[in-house]
Amino acid sequence: MMNEFCKGGGCTAKLGPGILDKVLKMIPKKADPKLLVGFDHSDDAAVYQLTDELAVVQTLDFFPPMVEDPYLFGKIAATNALSDIYAMGGEVKTALNIVCFPESMDANILGQILLGGNEKVTEAGGVLAGGHSINDVDVKYGLSVMGTIHPKRILENNHCKEGDLLLLTKPLGVGIVMTASRMKAVSEEAFDQAVESMTTLNKYAAEIFKKYGIHACTDITGFGLLVHLGEMLGENFSAEVWTSQIPYIRACEDYVEEFYITAAGQRNRNHIGAQVAFENCSFAMEEILFDPQTSGGLLVAIPENEVKKALKEIEALGLDCGIIGRVTEKKEKKIYVLK
Amino acid sequence: MNIQIDAKGKQCPLPVIEAKNAISGMTEAGIVEVTVDNEIAVQNLTKMADHKGLKAKSEKKSNQEYTVWMEVTEEFVKNNIKDGNVSSTPVTEENCIPDIRKKKTVVVLGADHMGEGDEKLGKMLMKGFVYALTQLEELPQTILLFNSGAYLSCEGSDSVEDLKSMEAQGVEVMTCGTCLNHYGLTEKLAVGSVTNMYVIAQTMMEADHIVKP
């Protein structure tokens, strides 16, 4: 009954950015000077200052399975949930499990999920401290993670500067590969590439970036590269994206031609497509740029004089990565996708 | 030639994949009509039609029902046939080869042997049964293989050729994926497609007859 376990999840199951914006605008916001980063930032995690030297970073992420192996699903979900702490520049301290699981399903499956999750929390240097489980029709799993950070060293997602280069630390296309997998049309190579990417903690990339003068950082998840980049640019900048430099899982080109694409990718297109100018961009590459990522890489805006050295260190981590574009002055469109 | 697809309740990319398969199976110009239950699926279908150079239009019938029409032109069909995506002499309803599949008869092969007793004899009987099926005037609509029945559709089975012959005549041959996995046969499937328990249950529920040797 594997199909009952995996109905196509991961970050493709996220609510669209459009709906979320509308709803969040209706919630009254309490002003608290100690809340350094809250949800009005569309940032990756919340940051609350405790003392002059110490702030806590909090985040929560969970979703339905996107792979049939429960242990692997646990690892991916945890890697994804932990990522938001790294995207802010923080260090992982504690994590709580969030579980929805049908009582009628084999409890060993849940055991495997939690085992995979715990492994990644431990690798992150954190400790699993508890959790909450609900009997539900479908499986969902994730974590609420707490980390710490120095209040002066927060990496916000929208502080880029004109002339910064954009560095992406993981290949795109994970959502497309998982959709092809659900359609039983995936190659073993592409599946393995996607899994390796989804289970690699952003911890290692984040540690490297601490040595450089990063201006902005975010992790690429369900909203895909272009929506996350759009958030990073805010209202004051535009950017060029160079398709020849985009790291992506090569099999995606074929999978897009077979239309193994998601509803979430289309929602991302609806959200930001009007602010993107595509020049000489193949249909497959467009879809890859909108593709929702589960446990995607970090996207940073970094000064030009530091980027080569940083890229060399990121490359040594072993995943496909690249300098994918540049922040420019504000132009008519927000993002220009060029060859 | 017009094709209607009801893809309500199906998540992306299924509506798009079903429409794409219908389009590439077209042997003459016509309309593919797809009904879906959400706007995003309409957009994904329209995107697919655009990408293939086909005209598409859509209509919202209610909050949970949208129809998309895609116009498959003669030129598209010609190119598609030329590209080898579809055979130019397929068996369609309009063709004069009679469809000898018996309506909704489902043959269920839940073991690699037939009957209880000597296992060697049981395996021989099963081989004979599958062969005999091929010789009948009316073929079943679907053959489901599960548990050790999964061995029959895999490399090394004497029934593969018979199953292939029936598949070529339009019989759907489907083997349980969990069972293939269990017996380590996933890479060895030689005929038909992999299925899951939902499809197996649905196929059996909708069958007019179930034949279990």
pTM over 0.90: no
E strands of B24-159, at which residues? 30-36, 55-62, 65-72, 105-109, 142-145
Tokens of B114: 């037939």
10 Å CB burial of residue A189 (0-12, 13-18, 19+) is: exposed
* pLDDT score of B169: 81
10 Å CB burial of residue A310 (0-12, 13-18, 19+) is: buried
Contact A120, A87 (CB under 8 A): no
User: Quick check: A104 contacting B, CB < 8 Å?
Assistant: no
- Is residue A150 annotated as involved in ligand binding? no
Show the domains of chain B with their CATH numbers: 3-82 (3.30.110.40), 105-211 (3.40.1260.10)
Distance CA A216, CA B5 (A): 47
What is residue A199's three-state secondary structure? coil
Q: Which chain B residues in 141-180 lie under 8 Å from chain A, judged by CB atoms? A: 177-178
A84-125 residue pLDDT tens: 999 999 999 999 999 999 999 999 999 999 999 999 999 999
Whether residue B137 has pLDDT greater than 90: no
- Reply yes or no on whether A11 is catalytic: yes
Contact A238, A336 (CB under 8 A): yes
Question: Cβ of B13 and A1 within 8 Å?
Answer: no
Taking contacts as CB-CB distances below 8 angstroms, the residues of chain B near A2 are 177-178, 181, 196
A29-60 residue pLDDT tens: 888 999 998 866 666 789 999 999 999 999 99
Contact B207, B106 (CB under 8 A): yes
Q: Which chain B residues in 26-55 lie under 8 Å from chain A, judged by CB atoms? A: 38, 40-41, 43-44, 47-48, 51
User: Quick check: B79 contacting A, CB < 8 Å?
Assistant: no
What is residue B44's three-state secondary structure? helix
Contact A323, A167 (CB under 8 A): yes
Alpha helix ranges (H) inside A183-223: 188-198, 203-209
* pLDDT score of A230: 96
Return the residue of A nearest to B50 by Cα: A283
Question: Cβ of B44 and A261 within 8 Å?
Answer: yes
**Cβ pairs bridging A and B (under 8 Å):** 50
Average pLDDT over residues B58-69: 92
If pLDDT is split at 50, 70 and 90, which confidence band does B34 have?
very high
Return the residue of B nearest to A179 by Cα: B13
Closest CA to A166 of A231, A105, A113, A121: A231
Give the bridge partners for A337, in sequence order.
A241, A278
* pLDDT score of B180: 92
Rg (CA), chain A: 19
Taking contacts as CB-CB distances below 8 angstroms, the residues of chain B near A183 are 13, 17
Average pLDDT over residues A302-326: 96
Show the domains of chain A with their CATH numbers: 2-153 (3.30.1330.10), 165-338 (3.90.650.10)
Distance CA A161, CA A152 (A): 18
The ipTM value here is 0.80
B161–chain A nearest CA distance, Å: 24
Q: Which residue has the higher pLDDT, B169 or A289?
A: A289
Taking contacts as CB-CB distances below 8 angstroms, the residues of chain B near A259 are 13, 16-17, 20, 44, 48
Whether residue A321 has pLDDT greater than 90: yes
Which region among A182-186, B24-28, B83-87, B177-181 has the lowest average model confidence (pLDDT)? B83-87
Closest CA to A337 of A320, A325, A328, A329: A325
B79-112 residue pLDDT tens: 888 776 664 444 333 333 444 555 689 999 999 9
Distance CA A99, CA A194 (A): 24
Rg (CA), chain B: 20
Q: Give the percent of chain A with pLDDT over 70.
A: 94
Tokens of B116: 């209880």
Tokens of B44: 């994904």
